[in-house]
Amino acid sequence: MNPVEQARQDALSLFKELGLPNKCNEDWKYTDVSRLEGLLDIGGVGADVHSEGLGMVDLDAYRMVFANGVFDAAQSNLPDAVEIVSLAALEASVSGEESKALAKLFHVSGNEPLVNGLTALNAAIASDGAAVCLADNSVLDKPLYILHVSNQNNAIRHGLMLGENAQAQVIEHFISVGEENALSNCVTAVILKNGASLEHSRLQQEGKKQAHVARVEVKQFRDSSYTFHGIELGASLSRTDLVVSLSEPGASCELNGLFVLDGRQHVDHHTRIDHQAPHCVSRENYRTVLDGRSHGVFNGKVVVHKGAIKTDSSQSNGNLLLSNHAQIDTKPELEIYNDDVKCAHGATVGQLDDKQLFYLRSRGICEEAAQELLVFAFADEILAAMSNQVVRSYVEKAAFAKLPHASDLDGLMG
């Protein structure tokens, strides 16, 4: 058996051993995934789903489209000179040493933080993904936009490897067509070599009945920088585990998250940042806007290891509850094993500020519009961290459309 097949076999065994996570596990206390039991099989891969005209059509980017987890070359547009290929194609073409290297992308260890049965299952069954390998000192001249369109269960696995001082912007966008009760199981593994820099956005905008589980794992070397924007608008159940290891001095990460939820949507992000080396910086800023009976979960764990002196870490989490039935469970966790660190974290839960509302109304803005404006402003502070204005404005419009009285504020986004 070749090394990739072997790794996938091992992952399948691990899945069988671990099973679906359940509430006995502290990391899954608030998120019940028992309904996913019947959705684990990705079945006949590649069923028809159309992607033409969907997603961020105005974005000037390299485009990679995955239809139900299979690369759709006809809808894609990739640069010639750099290494961006379909993982399935790569898997079919490699042998020998290359195969050993690729197998690492499928290797799952039950000892890694936040690894669970679904992670292992992904490695075992993922049908395709983006395999990006940027050479040292290369700069991807346009963003890479990865559009996922689905109408059935799918599993996708991306590997993003940036060589020394390489730079890229990657946007993952998830949408589904129709109203299927299906599961998207997604993993993105990122490796940033010395001085590399990646801005990585994930916009989850799947359909109302959809379930979405994801793991993003990032391994950072010296002086590399990673910026993440996790935007959760869709699906009925969505869980992301985001695991960043700052393994060498000077590495920095910035994790931004925004959930805008209504109805009975349930979104859970567990993030973990490991400061393993001195002089690393982590910034984390998550906000949620929860209406209806929606439920947000944010767990942000920062572990500062023994040798990681001069660590600079801050985390903030703000939550706006628009309804009495909405719920947030937020838990910032700090574990520090040395004295020479600067760490700050805090979480707030609240409603709209009466003073701000009155101020806006006194200037002639009607009550509903004033409420909208404050909600939008609260959410938009997260989006302001996005460097790509086309992506930001797409996300703003999509988030804004979810707010109850959106029509009163035409022209807000200029």
Partner 1 sequence: MLVIKDLHVSVGGKEILKGLNLTINAGEVHAIMGPNGAGKSTLSNVIAGHDGYEVTSGSLTYKGEDLLAMKPEERAWAGVFLAFQYPVEIPGVNNTYLLKAGVNAKRKHQGLTELDAFDFMSVVKEKAKLVELDASFLSRSVNEGFSGGEKKRNEIFQMAVLEPDLALLDETDSGLDIDALRIVAGGINKLRSPDRAIVMITHYQRLLDYIEPDFVHVLAEGKIQKTGDKSLALKLEEHGYDWVKENL
What is the dihedral sign for C-alpha 140, 143, 148, 149?
A: negative
In the bound complex, what is the minimum distance in angstroms from residue 377's beta carbon to partner 1?
Answer: 3
Q: Return the exposure string of 374-397: e unless at least 16 CB atoms fall within 10 Å of the residue's CB, then b.
A: bbbebbbebbebbebebbbbbbbe
User: What amino acid is encoded at 121 in this protein?
Assistant: L
Closest listed residue to residue 33, CA positions, set 189, 266, 262? 266
In the bound complex, what is the minimum distance in angstroms from residue 272's beta carbon to partner 1?
Answer: 29
Dihedral angle, C-alpha 176, 180, 181, 187, nearest 10 °: -20
In the bound complex, what is the minimum distance in angstroms from residue 287's beta carbon to partner 1?
Answer: 11
Nearer to partner 1, 39 or 289 (CB): 289
| Alpha-helix residue ranges (DSSP H) falling in 198-344 | none
In the bound complex, what is the minimum distance in angstroms from residue 385's beta carbon to partner 1?
Answer: 12
Nearer to partner 1, 129 or 257 (CB): 257
* Rg of the chain (C-alpha set): 21
Chain residues in the site for partner 1 (CB under 8 A):
353-356, 358-367, 369-370, 373-374, 376-378, 380-381, 384, 409, 411-412, 414
Nearer to partner 1, 226 or 376 (CB): 376
Cβ proximity of 375 and 322 under 8 Å? yes
Nearer to partner 1, 44 or 364 (CB): 364
Nearer to partner 1, 57 or 366 (CB): 366
Strands 154-162 and 130-134: parallel
In the bound complex, what is the minimum distance in angstroms from residue 369's beta carbon to partner 1?
Answer: 7
Closest listed residue to residue 128, CA positions, set 186, 168, 177? 186
In the bound complex, what is the minimum distance in angstroms from residue 347's beta carbon to partner 1?
Answer: 17
Nearer to partner 1, 67 or 369 (CB): 369
